Structure 1
Amino acid sequence: MSPASSGHRIMRLVTTVILLLLPTLAASAAKGPAGRKIVVQDMLERKVSVPANPQRIIALAGALRMVVYLNAFDRVVGVEGIEKETPAPSGRPYGMAISQKAAALPDVGEGGLKPVNIEKIITLRPDVIFAAGFDRFQADDMTRKTGVPVVALSYGGTGILSDDRALRSLTLLGRVLGEEKRARDITTYITGIRADLSRRTRGIATGSPKVYAGCIAYKGIHGITSTDADFFPLDVLGASNVAKDLRKGGHLFIDREQILVWDPDVILIDVAGMALLRNDYAAHPFFFRKLKAVREGRVFQVMPYNNYYTNIETALADAYAAGVYLYPQRFTGIDPDRKAAEIIRFFTGVAAFDSMKREFGGFRRLEFSGRGICVR
């Protein structure tokens, strides 16, 4: 028998053994740590039985961010490849808090829309799996294949932040992980920000400037025609988002002519799409010069809060910046960069905004001139 044939036979034997062992490994993974179990209702309204205070966890489809918020990353036994980028993208502050540790963990799949490595998850023996981007079928199917309970979390939807659903998810996660105090601290912090923003903007809806949010990131970066009818920083301020005129919720791609029709007083630019905006301005300068916001110098950049689901802390920081841009008299004493640094550190435990500011330039006004777009 040739060495090559012998090698093929050994590989086939190893594969057969692994396949035979998978059900046993799955059953073992399902048992989790010794002790009591609790039953929770997840964000898909499924009743899920999970070990109390699990010590071995995996977080998929955007759920790792919430685990980091709760200071529970030390329990993670495997991560998606997208979470192992080094250095971590500035648009994902939580990633900067865990980049070195995450890079050393086993890979359980690429992340995003790519398939999960079921066999690897089974061998890592997690007590529970958390997932923010799963539907009911995906969650049930993951449990069926791995034997591990799956708890679904939610930010509100792809590219859409619902702080109510986010707060409920953090409370749920805190209960499962036994991190109720940290979860309460975060929900109290978010509630306090909401109350402060509401107080500052009370009674100014009438006559509020018309605002367009452009270059909104959604499953990637986009140019000026990418917008969001439910743009959180504007919604939380009660500001006038012209995209709501279309009576369609969520992310939208629109015709540039519609922007001319609206002719907004203020334009907010998701800085993730800045390169595309610069190219668009170079190719179509007359389009931009027709816009009142461009002519009057009322175009401002905000930080990207959609980056592998939603960075809650960045969205809150953007809300304060938008308040300063739109209602400066109501937001006296607020420096958007300092406020962002404070909020992001509270959520992640690290000075992640420093990196964001170096890459994106912080919260600034954009000036459109014959030389291009300048950050002021």
Structure 2
Amino acid sequence: MDRSIAIMGAGLGLCVLVFIFTVAAQAGATQKITDAAGKIVVLPDKVDHIICSGSGCLRLVTYLGAQNLVVGVDDIERRNNRFDARPYALANPQFKTLPVFGGFRGRDIPEKILGLPVLPQVIFKIHGVAGDDPGKLSRKTGIPVVTLKYGDLVHSRQDFYNALTILGQALDRQARAQEVIHFFDAEIQALEDRTRNVPGAEKKTCFVGGIAFKGPHGFQSTEPRYPPFEFVNARNIARPADHGTAPGQSNFSREKILTLDPRVLFLDLSTLQMGSDQGGLYELQKDPVYQGLSAVKAGAVFGVLPYNWYAQNFGSILADSWFIGKILYPEQFTDIEPEQKADEIYTFLLSKPVFQRMNQSFDQKVFKRINLN
């Protein structure tokens, strides 16, 4: 009986909080925006307190320089790991001190959201892959939820740009949103301009292994339309012959890698999370099939920054692209110092250079020839 009364009391308290917050949110000037789901959402005209739900959502907010508005984080931001390839988190250590409102990948807890010391006026939420329903979350909390699509830089770049545009409108950072969009377009175009006229006969075949997907994987894990390869017109042996849209992460057989024998190999260093006795680096060192590859024999194996780490790291994709371009076409990239270029990218997006911290996390193997002995 007592337990039932306590549960009823807690439920009543939650309803009261939702009612109070909803009434408060309706007061004052408002703005209307259309989110990625096509829903019109009414927000305060001036937004000062937000939370970001779902893989990569907080990253986008930091690109707009709005991290000071964040009043809570999901639990991945509070973890301490030896490896971390999320530049936005490294540039904003204060996220580790903020209260937690739910689990990572959009697993929100309404009671925790309403219990935050500072209530958010808006919840921005990446939706479509995992996590709770935005409408249900808004009804439970009384807080407007703005749905975003994260997108990518190859198949769904417009979704990424739309997310920045929606955030820019909601947070009164329209100019910065357009500046970031122009930055990505300009970087990708510059890579294209340097490589589009390289004769096919001069292009070295290549392959990237160890691509992460919801955790680390071995060397067979790749990306048929790996963005850095796409941007520098590389001869990726895993790319479909018809050049059509390919799935994201997939496994490429060892036998195909051996048969096609790419001249240059790249290793996504997220695979180092698997330890010293497994993973992509270990396989390249010990597997007889990989030991027969021309690139392994020639020492043409290079480490690159992780591609997927709590969704795609857009800044790291650009940084990897410039490094890979320099390796595949040294004459077209003589003026590029990859580490310096990486920090130029991070400084623009995050206002801080974080390359050396990531390089240290990954055993100083980023943008280096990897010793397999």
Q: Secondary structure at 1:91's aligned position in 2?
A: coil
Tell me, in whole angstroms, the C-alpha distance in 2 between the residues paired with 1:311 and 1:205.
30
Compared with structure 1, are the counterparts of its residues 21 and 345 closer, same or farther at alpha carbon in structure 2 (3 Å cutoff)? same
Of residues 367, 370, 374, the one that matches 2:371 is 367
Q: Number of paired residues? A: 357
Distance 1:174 1:283, change over 3 A: same
- Aligned counterpart, 1:229: 224
In structure 2, C-alpha distance between the alignment counterparts of 1:42 and 1:240, rounded to whole Å: 38
Q: 1:3: which partner in 2?
A: none
**1:105 shift after superposition:** 1.7
1:302 to 292, 301, 304: 304
Corresponding position: 1:181 with 2:175: yes
* Counterpart-to-counterpart distance in 2, 1:161 and 1:68: 23
Identity %: 32
Query: SS state of the match for residue 28, structure 1?
Result: helix
Report how far residue 163 of structure 1 moved. Answer: 3.5
The 2-side partners of 1:132 and 1:205 are apart by 41
Q: Partners of 1:55 and 1:129 in 2: how far apart?
A: 12
Deviation at 1:57, TM superposition (A): 0.7
1:33 Cα deviation from its structure 2 partner: 6.9
CA deviation vs aligned residue, 1:241-275 (integer Å, no higher than 9, x gap): 22222763211023221212322122111011134
Deviation string 1:216-265 (CA, Å, 9 cap, x unpaired) is 01111111010111211111222222222276321102322121232212
Q: Which residue of 1 aligns with 2:268?
A: 270
In the alignment, is the contact (CA less than 8 A) between 2:220 and 2:252 conserved in 1? yes
Q: 2:248 aligns with which of 247, 250, 261?
A: 250
Q: How does 1:173-212 map to 2 (within 5 A)?
A: 173-204=167-198, 206-207=200-201, 208-212=203-207
Counterparts of 1:108 and 1:297, CA distance in 2: 47
Is the contact made by 2:238 and 2:252 (CA closer than 8 Å) also made in structure 1? no
Per-residue Cα deviation, 1:350-375 (whole angstroms, up to 9, x for no partner): 2211201222223111233xxx3xxx
Map of 1:5 onto structure 2: none
Deviation at 1:49, TM superposition (A): 2.7
Paired residue secondary structure (2:290)? helix
In the other structure, the counterpart of 1:36 is 29
Q: 1:167 to 1:21 in 2, by over 3 A?
A: same
Alignment-derived partner of residue 72 in structure 2: 78
How big is the shift at 1:47?
3.1
Would the aligned equivalents of 2:211 and 2:307 in 1 still touch at CA under 8 Å? no
| 1:319 alignment partner, SS class | helix
3-state SS in 2 of match to 1:40: strand
Cα 1:87/1:263, change in 2 over 3 Å: closer
Which whole-Å CA distance do the structure 2 matches of 1:315 and 1:322 have between them? Answer: 10
Q: Is the 8 A contact 1:155 1:161 kept in 2?
A: no
Taking a change above 3 Å as real, the CA distance of residues 334 and 111 of structure 1, as seen in their structure-2 partners, is: same
SS in 1 for 2:332: coil
CA RMSD, Structure 1 to Structure 2 (Å): 2.5
CA deviation profile, 1:147-173 (whole Å, cap 9, x unmatched):
22222223326x987443222211211
Which residue of the partner structure matches residue 103 of structure 1? 96
Cα distance in 2 between the residues matched to 1:175 and 1:87: 34
Using structure 1 for the length normalisation, give the TM-score. Answer: 0.87
Select the residue among 215, 229, 252 that pairs with 1:220.
Answer: 215
Which of 7, 19, 25 in structure 1 is aligned with 2:17? 25
CA gap of 1:289–1:87, structure 2 versus 1, over 3 A, is closer
**Does the C-alpha gap of structure 1 residues 65 and 43 become closer, same or farther in structure 2, counting only changes over 3 Å?**
same
Partner Cα distance (1:204, 1:33) in 2: 59
State whether structure 2 residue 48 is matched by structure 1 residue 46: no
Q: Does the CA-based 8 Å contact 2:208-2:268 persist in structure 1?
A: yes
Aligned equivalents of 1:167, 1:88: Cα separation in 2: 32
Q: What is the alpha-carbon distance in structure 1 between the residues aligned to residue 326 and residue 144 of structure 2?
A: 45
Q: Which moved more, 1:61-70 or 1:79-88?
A: 79-88
C-alpha distance in structure 2 between counterparts of 1:323 and 1:14, whole Å: 63
Structure-2 residue corresponding to 1:132: 126
Query: Which has the higher mean CA deviation after the structures are superposed, 66-75 or 159-168?
Result: 159-168
CA contact (8 A) 2:263 2:294 kept: yes
What is the alpha-carbon distance in structure 1 between the residues aligned to residue 82 and residue 37 of structure 2? 30
Segments of structure 1 that go 5 or more residues without pairing to the other structure are 1-7
Structure 1 residues 252 and 75: CA distance shift in structure 2, 3 A: same
Q: Matched residues in 1 for 2:194 and 2:179: separation?
A: 23
How far apart are residue 14 of structure 1 and its match?
4.4
Matched residue type, 2:293: L
Instruction: Determine the C-alpha separation between the residues in 1 that align with 2:82 and 2:283.
Output: 28
In structure 1, how many angstroms separate the alpha carbons of the residues matched to 2:265 and 2:157? 24
CA distance 1:135–1:22, change in 2 (3 Å): farther
C-alpha deviation, 1:330, in angstroms? 0.7
